[in-house]
Amino acid sequence: MDGYEAPALPAPKDPVQVIDAAERFVTSTGATVRHGGTRAFYRPSDDIIQMPERERFLGTRTSTATESYYATLLHELTHWTGHDRRCDRQFGKRFGDDAYAVEELVAELGAAFLCADLGVTLTPRPDHAAYIDNWLKVLKADKKAIFTAASAAAKATDFLAGLQAADITEAAA
């Protein structure tokens, strides 16, 4: 419609607070992170992480807006490590298949590990557990799936930590 402007987002009651350590960590990876839209995802074909604007993240009963934003960003960053030029994870491509479920477990476990390491949250978040539990139900037939996912998540977070060391080493030189 001509002349129609979408209303501005209301000011959140619990706005996302910038966590400097998390910002530096993500920036040091070299990942391309774009903000806009209403969905968060990693797009392998473009090798980009797409995030909604920070203002779209709201606090809930189980997490603050800050925790939600960074948990989502770190989840997508963990997906980013699966690219063939990085950790080269080949679990699955199709939403809903078992291989895709393993990749989702990897991303959520990686986000949980990174949230703890970066001080985003000091305690396990119920929404991480609920998300992981949802995918575990899909994988009940494979009792080793959680171990496969946890191992891959540890490799992903180690890879990301290695990018931090490289960045620090280059800055010192």
- For residue 29, being part of any structural domain is answered with yes
Decide if 65 is inside a domain.
yes
Into how many domains does the chain fold?
1
The answer to whether residue 155 sits within a structural domain is yes
Domain that holds residue 49: 20-162
Least confident among 18-22, 23-27, 69-73, 93-97: 93-97
- Inside any domain, residue 6: no
Please check whether residue 68 is in contact with residue 52, taking contact to mean a CB–CB distance below 8 angstroms: no
Nearest alpha-carbon partner for 159 in 44, 45, 82, 99: 82
Residue 169 within a domain: no
Give the mean model confidence (pLDDT) for residues 36-57: 94
For 151-167, what is the mean pLDDT? 89
Q: pTM, whole model, 2 decimals?
A: 0.81
Q: Is residue 51 part of a domain?
A: yes
Quote the mean pLDDT of the chain.
83
- The mean per-residue pLDDT over the stretch 45-51 comes to 96
Taking Cα atoms as reference points, which of 139, 138, 16, 126 lies closest to residue 67? 16
Q: Which residue has the higher pLDDT, 159 or 141?
A: 159
Distance, CA of 10 to chain centre: 25
The predicted model gives 137-146 an average pLDDT of: 74
Arithmetic mean of pLDDT, 136-148:
75
**Residue 11 included in any domain:** no
Cα dist from 115 to 13, 60, 125, 153, 157, whole Å:
22, 17, 10, 13, 11
The predicted structure's pLDDT at residue 14:
73
Whether 3 is in a domain gets the answer no
